[in-house]
Chains A and B, each alone.
Chain A
């Protein structure tokens, strides 16, 4: 806690960095590099506004420069933690090197990427202004300095993983803890809103944003802040959840733009459906490859009773609550109809049969047009001109003024969808932590043992299947109204536009199976990335697959790990390794295999 530099290792065999430099010099280099990077963002980086974000001004950072500025500040802060400056210790509780080098790497990545992008986009290094040179030199200096700091270990892994022991946080009053949760949520909202707000044509800016977010978040994780924050969250669970929803509700006010609000609604729809799928796949372990059909059933049910003139029952217009229940009930019925015969199958068979049923739904809907079959769904044309919802006289189609902010159509739906998401989160968490939830997990773990413990496997699986289906149906009812129309095309197994079953499954697996946050994060990423990286459009499925392969290799439990899964996949890192109490391990091993 002292402000002297004595506490940092000066012993003869202190761990050395990759680059041989005295400690003090290394620290100074990082700090100077960071300051240089910050300064450079106030200079012009290129002469023309043609490069996305317009980086031509002196005195006001824009686009990628803002990102470089943030990365520079982060690097400077972490460099200062190496001096043990009072008041900054909380940023780096373990006093680790890794966060400094990761922060420096983020600044380096953002600036060098920008410089290269400018040179490539505009054709040549001549397009770089002095500011860009200052930026690339400074960030390189900072990175080299960081690499000269004592190395956290011999392997590359040591540079990117958090220290084993993070000193516990000093106790602060509960209100202060809540303040921290609030601040962190607000920060997350700002970061998210910035990402969503990036102009879809400025893919460069979005890549820079991704570089900063990934490396910056990583720096915070290696500093131990993520652990501390999740401990805080666990202590204030209800509060943290409400803050998260409040932040999401504030999104339309922060990012007041219909296009982005539309993006937000769609993200919420797929996130909610992914969360429903998580009950089936993550908790119960049933691989359902046709799940998107239930979203379709809900959407079609709502469309049919919406009063649209293209609906078979165009005279019928249910109030929203009734339409919602109709959609849920229809999906529930389909869930039971599909589940009852298929859930007697196990593993791969179930996957294949659900895949088949998913396709059957789409093809049937395509053909129920009056010529190939009875007219119910209007065939490939679908049901369009679905009127906007009206609840208690609140018309979702028109704009409303809240204070000085005008809330548009999509923002209205975003707020409605947020309520639905909250309901689904509540259902998920409550069901998971109960007798029925435990029996789902037991079935996933070992179905034979579960039935031998008295669990009626078929019944319990059917409940999971039906619950998952009706939650998807619920989300479907809103999505029908948001999108003005429904048609069979999106409800397929795999496609380049969400929602499709493969997308939902990927969201669950990528985000983290069995968790609440995982599918929401996974769906957000998978929806947002192709949206913002327009050059990816034609390679989207490829990129998708590649991302999944990489993730499965390095973090099989998903981005947000369930406590269980984390322990399962990273056995050596867990705190409670079993003590070897068997005198003769070969006996144990033989018997274990028997």
Chain B
């Protein structure tokens, strides 16, 4: 829907392969994300989407292939990847459960602050200034995702949808150039999913490229400039929403069941579509044991 003119690549993954013993979870996948783009990554459960994310962010060291961010090849170390400018969320929420909402976001600021042990012990003016700045930025982000009123709650006490949002805020705190979202609307109700769509658009409008894994097709096709479909570790199709949507192999890959939530049907049965969307999620995710 949006065609960006400036197309300098933010992320370039080429020939990424990940083998676990005999299992090839990701097979020679190439993917490019350009600045200002929202790219979707779809595929049935166990297709290797999360594994691909882990290869991009250094949590796994890819067996083959290389990943570069804005032209420089990334070392396979998670903290260096984040430092370079790629932030992510997790499919199974991984917040710091016993830290407050604000503290979670403050941890996200880690790469953009410098204060070490000595400065913490001596508490000079520099320390105070940096701490205040961090807090201000964190509160700004909480305002952005609409959680500032819960800044002092423990992360574990938030409802599910807000936990997902908080993960996004925590990722944004590292001022990334590329945000990787792993099933950001999983477990959300239709309204929350809509709100998340708006949120992703707002993030893109801040100049942050987004690569998103999602099972909710309505979400994906509303949102993404380009969509890639991964099946059994291989990239099957890549293209605009229309191309991928019409591709028979994609439909077949999703267990042969044509999904009902296509944007064309929207006006007819919006609620039904959303419900069957989340219903499909719950059935597909049962066997999912992603990292």
A191 to B99, CA, bound (A): 35
B153: nearest chain-A partner, CB-CB? A576
A427 to B98, CA, bound (A): 22
Stretch at the interface among A22-30, A76-84, A435-443: A435-443
- Tell me whether A591 and B131 are in contact (CB under 8 A): no
Residue B221 lies at the interface, judged by CB distance under 8 Å to chain A: no
- Tell me whether B121 and A452 are in contact (CB under 8 A): no
Beyond A445-B96, A455-B110, is A582–B161 a contact (Cβ under 8 Å)?
yes
Q: How distant is A221 from chain B, measured CB to nearest CB, in Å? A: 23
Residue A550 lies at the interface, judged by CB distance under 8 Å to chain B: no
Q: Which one, A426, A454, A582, A587, contacts B159 given CB within 8 A?
A: A582
- Tell me whether A594 and B92 are in contact (CB under 8 A): yes
A454 to B156, CA, bound (A): 21
Q: How distant is B233 from chain A, measured CB to nearest CB, in Å? A: 19
From residue 572 to 594 of chain A, which have CB atoms closer than 8 A to chain B? Answer: 574, 576-584, 586-588, 590-594
Q: Which residues of A contact B87 (CB under 8 A)?
A: 453
B106-123 contact mask (Cβ, 8 Å, vs A): 1 or 0: 111111010111011101
A451 to B87, CA, bound (A): 11
- Tell me whether B281 and A454 are in contact (CB under 8 A): no
Residue A457 lies at the interface, judged by CB distance under 8 Å to chain B: yes
Q: Which residues of A contact B96 (CB under 8 A)?
A: 441-442, 445-446, 449-450
Beyond A453-B170, A582-B160, is A592–B93 a contact (Cβ under 8 Å)?
yes
Beyond A454-B111, A582-B159, A591-B282, is A434–B120 a contact (Cβ under 8 Å)?
yes
Q: Which one, B120, B154, B158, B189, contacts A435 given CB within 8 A?
A: B120
- Tell me whether A586 and B282 are in contact (CB under 8 A): yes
- Tell me whether B91 and A594 are in contact (CB under 8 A): yes
Residue B78 lies at the interface, judged by CB distance under 8 Å to chain A: yes
Q: How distant is B28 from chain A, measured CB to nearest CB, in Å? A: 25
Residue B285 lies at the interface, judged by CB distance under 8 Å to chain A: yes
Beyond A565-B98, A588-B160, is A594–B117 a contact (Cβ under 8 Å)?
no
Q: Which residues of A contact B79 (CB under 8 A)?
A: 451-452, 454-457
Residue B202 lies at the interface, judged by CB distance under 8 Å to chain A: no
- Tell me whether B93 and A581 are in contact (CB under 8 A): no
Q: Which one, B83, B98, B285, contacts A564 given CB within 8 A?
A: B98
B97: nearest chain-A partner, CB-CB? A445
Q: Which residues of B contact A577 (CB under 8 A)?
A: 157
- Tell me whether A435 and B186 are in contact (CB under 8 A): no
Residue among A449, A452, A580, A588 with max Cβ neighbours from chain B (10 Å): A452
- Tell me whether B94 and A449 are in contact (CB under 8 A): yes
A427 to B123, CA, bound (A): 11
B191-235 contact mask (Cβ, 8 Å, vs A): 1 or 0: 000000000000000000000000000000000000000000000
Q: Which residues of B contact A450 (CB under 8 A)?
A: 96, 107
Residue B73 lies at the interface, judged by CB distance under 8 Å to chain A: no
- Tell me whether B110 and A439 are in contact (CB under 8 A): yes
Q: How distant is A592 from chain B, measured CB to nearest CB, in Å? A: 7
A361 to B4, CA, bound (A): 64
- Tell me whether A454 and B282 are in contact (CB under 8 A): no
Q: How distant is B285 from chain A, measured CB to nearest CB, in Å? A: 4
Q: Which residues of B contact A451 (CB under 8 A)?
A: 59, 78-79
Q: Which residues of A contact B159 (CB under 8 A)?
A: 578-582
Residue B290 lies at the interface, judged by CB distance under 8 Å to chain A: yes
Residue B69 lies at the interface, judged by CB distance under 8 Å to chain A: no
Residue A407 lies at the interface, judged by CB distance under 8 Å to chain B: no
Residue A364 lies at the interface, judged by CB distance under 8 Å to chain B: no
Q: Which residues of B contact A584 (CB under 8 A)?
A: 189, 278
Residue B288 lies at the interface, judged by CB distance under 8 Å to chain A: yes
From residue 431 to 486 of chain A, which have CB atoms closer than 8 A to chain B? Answer: 431, 433-439, 441-442, 445-446, 448-457, 463, 467
A31-66 contact mask (Cβ, 8 Å, vs B): 1 or 0: 000000000000000000000000000000000000
Residue A210 lies at the interface, judged by CB distance under 8 Å to chain B: no
Beyond A431-B117, A431-B121, A452-B82, is A594–B93 a contact (Cβ under 8 Å)?
no
Q: How distant is B249 from chain A, measured CB to nearest CB, in Å? A: 25
A450 to B109, CA, bound (A): 11
Q: Which one, B123, B158, B278, contacts A587 given CB within 8 A?
A: B278
Q: Which residues of B contact A446 (CB under 8 A)?
A: 94-97
Residue A236 lies at the interface, judged by CB distance under 8 Å to chain B: no
Residue A489 lies at the interface, judged by CB distance under 8 Å to chain B: no
The interface of chain A, by Cβ under 8 A from chain B, is 426-427, 430-431, 433-439, 441-442, 445-446, 448-457, 463, 467, 564-565, 567-568, 574, 576-584, 586-588, 590-594
Given contacts A431-B117, A435-B131, A567-B154, 11 further A-B contacts (CB under 8 A): A434-B131, A437-B120, A442-B96, A442-B99, A445-B98, A452-B59, A454-B79, A567-B156, A581-B189, A582-B159, A594-B290
A-B contact pairs, 28 of them (CB 8 A): A431-B120, A435-B115, A435-B131, A436-B117, A438-B107, A438-B110, A439-B107, A446-B94, A446-B96, A446-B97, A448-B78, A449-B96, A450-B96, A452-B82, A453-B87, A454-B79, A454-B82, A454-B111, A454-B174, A467-B117, A567-B156, A567-B157, A581-B161, A582-B161, A587-B282, A591-B187, A591-B285, A594-B186
Which 4 A-B pairs rank lowest in CB-CB distance, beginning with the nearest?
A: A434-B120, A454-B111, A454-B82, A591-B187
